[in-house]
Amino acid sequence: MATTAVTSAEIASEAPRSDFGRVLAQRERRFAAALLAPAFLALLATTTFPLLFLIYTSAFRMDLAMPFTNGFIGFENYQTLLADERFWTSLLVSLVYTGSTVALQVIVGLALALLVMDMKRGQGWFRIIAILPVVLSPAVVGMIWRTFMLAPEFGIVDYLAINAGLGSKNWLGDPTLAMVSVVAIHTWQWTPFAFMVLLASLASLPEDIYEAARLDRASAWQRFRRITLPLLRPAIVMVVIMRTMVALTAFAAIFTVTAGGPGTATEILNLYAYRKSFTELSIGYGSALAVALLIVTIIISGILFAMRRAK
Amino acid sequence: MTAKRLRVFALLAISMVFLLAWTFPIIWSVMNSLKTDPDVLAYPPKLVFAPTLDAYRDVLFGSGSILPNLLSSAIISVGTTIVTMLMAVPAAYALARLRFRGKKFAGFYVLATQMLPPVGIIIPYFLVLRNIGWIDTYQGIILIYLSFSLPFAIWLLVSYFEDIPFEMEEAAYLDGASRLKTLWRIIIPQVRGGIAVTVVFVFLNAWNEFLFAVVLSGNTVRPVTVAMFNFVSVEQTLWAKLAAVSVLAMLPVVVLGVVAQKHIVKGLTVGAVKGGGRR
């Protein structure tokens, strides 16, 4: 892009021995520092400081309901956590929720993107419609599904189920169905995201490779396996990474639809940390759970980024 | 029927199913918001009914009006957008165009802050705000919203700043304009489009946020996404009103989303299509 343009930055760095260059470079650094300072101070205050404070509070017993028992307890919260069955359940629920929603989003999104790429007309409709779920608040989406879509004997899903001969189901009251429901809602809202990204990526693929493949009599499936998938790989991996990060810390939709219930059937780790801290008011233990979630997030994103680099 | 015809029909059928699946919950909420409660509850569901604006009148002007909550949402979203942009535009410019030591680390830091789970941030933040009495205040909520809006805005803006040719600012600079003046007069107008898209996204994210809002809001500052719960209780659900509130909460984001439709994919995919080369 700007390979031939000579910028003041380049003058500054390429002529470091002249006084003029040094003055320019120094001026540039000061200017950069001044421009970055407000944003970085705000980020320090709203992300880094809370993180350090979180790790600190996780070493305390801090029950807002029973303040007299509070005090420093070192790693005790983490020992409790390792023996806490509800923690392991919530971790499992998190992994199932994240794995299934991300897989569904990518598979359905990709299939649909391929389908729409083939369409001569009507692509514009898909692009506009796909925006809608993505821009909605997950809290509002959750509320709509909980009431107008999934409510037993009244919601549309139940109406369809009855007419399909399946009978009325307690969509949010049955542990398995509740999990299926929250996965379906998340998939409903975010598949358009995967669809839009993959469609944009598909549209940028070079047409001549396909021409050559067609001349070589490659079947549609072969073209997909040998050309489309490898070329799309960076975009797919990126979608998986972005969607995984969001699904791991999904909150609003599950909170509004099931609040983690029935029991702990849809309680992902994120929600457990919230419930512990703000419903049961055990802030210290909640902090330890949040730290555990952070560690899980780092491990999973590490694996995904390694996958992106491989090959 | 030929195979090709069959294919076209199949395509059409599948696409219709998807378009319907994506729009139906939204359309159905709009329809329910125009019904009376008995009509909402009718079985089988009523597709044809006498529309009424009663639900909207009640939720906007009746007792327990959600107008203050819509106002709260608006103040929080606009406030977050203004503060975010004031900080993000200079920072993004520096990251995209200037040369300084530690630039790579600075970029990585901004990216890494996005990885923190919100629930981890809100616990310590809640404790601090409680001590300084900032729970249930606009400044308390707007400040914490910077934790997710700033990194996002900075990265999005960096991608726009990187697209403008260096010659422009160089010419101005050599003509004797100061760096700040160059930034303000020459560079900012070049990325006006990118700034507009960023504003839309920051506003959307702030309007839609829920976890922080639930923990930090009270009786004075309660955004509409939280206030919505008043219409669903164990004893009864106020069906038509709930639908009306949902539609009102959706309205600004849907309008913005459709208006900014052409640019939204870029915002969603910063780094995704390029493969995140600048990481």
Query: What is the SS3 string spanning chain A?
Result: CCCCCCCHHHHHHHCCCCHHHHHHHHHHHHHHHHHHHHHHHHHHHHHHHHHHHHHHHCCEECECCCHHHCEECCCHHHHHHHCCHHHHHHHHHHHHHHHHHHHHHHHHHHHHHHHHHHCCCCHHHHHHHHHHHHHCCHHHHHHHHHHHHCCCCCCHHHHHHHHCCCCCCCCCCCHHHHHHHHHHHHHHHHHHHHHHHHHHHHHCCCHHHHHHHHHCCCCHHHHHHHHHHHHHHHHHHHHHHHHHHHHHCCCHHHHHHCCCCCCCCCCCHHHHHHHHHHHCCEHHHHHHHHHHHHHHHHHHHHHHHHHHHCC
Least confident residue range of A103-107, B252-256, B258-262: B258-262
- Tell me the residues of chain A between 267 and 286 that have a Cβ less than 8 Å away from chain B: 270, 273-274, 277-278, 283, 286
Say whether the peptide bond before residue A262 is cis (omega within 30 degrees of 0): yes
Lowest mean pLDDT among A19-33, A108-122, A145-159, B102-116: A19-33
Cis preceding linkage at B38, omega within 30: no
pLDDT at A244 over 50: yes
Tell me the count of A-B CB pairs closer than 8 A. 297
Inform me whether the pLDDT recorded for A233 exceeds 60.
Answer: yes
Residue B226's pLDDT is what?
95
Q: Is B275 a residue whose pLDDT tops 60?
A: no
Q: Is the pLDDT assigned to residue B20 strictly greater than 50?
A: yes
CA dist., res. A236 & res. A107, Å (int): 10
A35 touches chain B (CB under 8 A): yes
Chain B hits for A5, CB-CB cut-off 8 Å, are 165-167, 170
How large is the average pLDDT for residues B24-43? 92
- In angstroms, what CA-CA distances link A135 with A31, B176, B213, B250, B258? 36, 44, 18, 9, 9
Whether residue A10 is predicted with pLDDT greater than 80 in this model: the reply is no
Q: Which residues of A touch B99 (CB under 8 A)?
A: 9-10, 12-13, 25, 28, 32
Question: What is the arithmetic mean of pLDDT over A181-202?
Answer: 94
In this predicted structure, what is the pLDDT of residue B8? 82
Percent of chain A with pLDDT strictly greater than 70: 94
Mutate to test the interface with A, among B17, B19, B22, B30 (most CBs of A within 10 A): B22
Burial, B99: exposed, middle or buried (Cβ in 10 Å; 0-12, 13-18, 19+)?
middle
Spell out which residues of chain A touch residue B243, defining contact as CB-CB under 8 Å.
148
Residue B266 to residue B163: CA distance in whole angstroms = 13
All residues at 6 or more sequence positions from B100 whose CB lies less than 8 Å from its CB, including other chains:
A28, A29, A32, A33, B94
pLDDT at B237: 83
3-state secondary structure of B237: strand
pLDDT-based confidence at residue B183 (cuts at 50, 70, 90): confident
CB atoms within 10 A of CB A88: 13
CB contact under 8 A, B150 and A242: no
Report the pLDDT value the prediction gives residue A214, as an integer from 0 to 100: 86
| Contact assignment for B86 to A38 by CB distance below 8 Å | yes
Q: Tell me what pLDDT residue B236 has.
A: 79
**In A, which residues are within 8 Å of B177 by CB distance?**
none
Task: Give the pLDDT of residue A260.
Answer: 92
How large is the average pLDDT for residues A121-128? 84
Chain A hits for B170, CB-CB cut-off 8 Å, are 5-8
pLDDT of residue A153: 75
Distance from the Cα of B157 to chain A's closest Cα (Å) equals 13
Give the residue carrying structure tokens 């007069």.
B185
What local confidence, expressed as pLDDT, does residue B270 receive? 64
Q: Residue A209 — very low, low, confident or very high, per pLDDT cuts 50/70/90?
A: confident
* Residue A268 pLDDT greater than 90, yes or no: yes
Strand, helix or coil at B36?
coil
Residue A35 has pLDDT above 60, yes or no: yes
Contact B210 A251 (CB under 8 A): yes
The helix-helix angle for A283-309 and A85-118 (nearest 10°) equals 40
In a 3-state reduction of DSSP, which class is residue B100? coil
Which stretch of A61-75, A185-199, B51-65 has the lowest confidence by average pLDDT?
Answer: A61-75
Q: Do A252 and B211 touch (CB under 8 A)?
A: yes
- The interface residues of chain A toward chain B in range 152-211, judged by CB-CB distance below 8 A, are 153-154, 156, 159, 188, 192-193, 196-197, 200-201, 204
Return the axis-axis angle of helices B138-161 and B192-208, rounded to nearest 10°.
150
User: Which range has the worst mean pLDDT, A259-263, B184-188, B193-197, B269-273?
Assistant: B269-273
pTM of the model: 0.90
Does position B278 have pLDDT exceeding 80, yes or no? Answer: no
Produce one character per residue of B216-248: b if its CB has 16 or more CB atoms within 10 Å, e if not. bbeeebbbbbbbbebbbeeeebbbbbbbbbbbb
Distance CA A169, CA B165 (A): 60
Q: Is the pLDDT of residue B173 over 80?
A: no
A143–B93: do the CB atoms touch at under 8 Å? no
- Across chain B, mean pLDDT equals 88
Return the percentage of chain A with pLDDT > 90, whole number. 61
Close Cβ partners of B71 (under 8 Å, ≥ 6 residues apart): none
CA distances from A123 to A112, A231, A235 (A): 11, 22, 20
CB–CB contact B106 A140 (8 Å): no
Q: Which of A58-72, B19-33, B142-156 has the lowest mean pLDDT?
A: A58-72
Select the more confidently predicted residue: B266 or B144.
B144
Average pLDDT over residues B240-258: 95
pLDDT of A79-90, one tens digit each? 999 999 999 999
CB contact under 8 A, B120 and A294: yes
With beta carbons less than 8 A apart as the criterion, state whether B206 and B76 touch: yes
pLDDT of res. B12: 84
Taking contacts as CB-CB distances below 8 angstroms, the residues of chain B near A35 are 90-91, 93-94, 98
Question: Residue B233: helix, strand or coil by DSSP?
Answer: coil
For an interface test with B, give the residue of A43, A141, A154, A187 to mutate (most B CBs within 10 A): A43
Q: What is the model's pLDDT at position A88?
A: 97
Of the two residues B235 and B153, the one the predictor is more confident about is B153
Is A287 in Cβ contact with B124 (below 8 Å)?
Answer: yes
Mean pLDDT of A251-269: 94
What pLDDT does residue B279 have?
Answer: 27
Q: What is the ipTM of this complex?
A: 0.91
Residues B256-270 have a mean pLDDT of 81
Greater model confidence, B177 or A260: A260
State phi, psi for B63 to the nearest 5 degrees.
Answer: -70, 145
Confidence of residue A108 (pLDDT cuts 50, 70, 90): very high
The residue of chain B nearest to residue A163, with distances taken between CA atoms, is: B44
C-alpha–C-alpha distance, residues B246 and B238, integer Å: 12
Mean pLDDT computed over B197-216: 95
Per-residue pLDDT band at B1 (split at 50, 70, 90): low
DSSP sequence for B51-85: ---HHHHHHHHSTT-SHHHHHHHHHHHHHHHHHHH
In whole angstroms, what is the distance from residue A149 CA to residue B28 CA? 9
Asked if B242 lies within 8 A of A143 by C-beta distance, the reply is yes
Token look-up 């052409």 returns B262
CA–CA gap between residue B91 and residue B75 (Å, rounded): 24
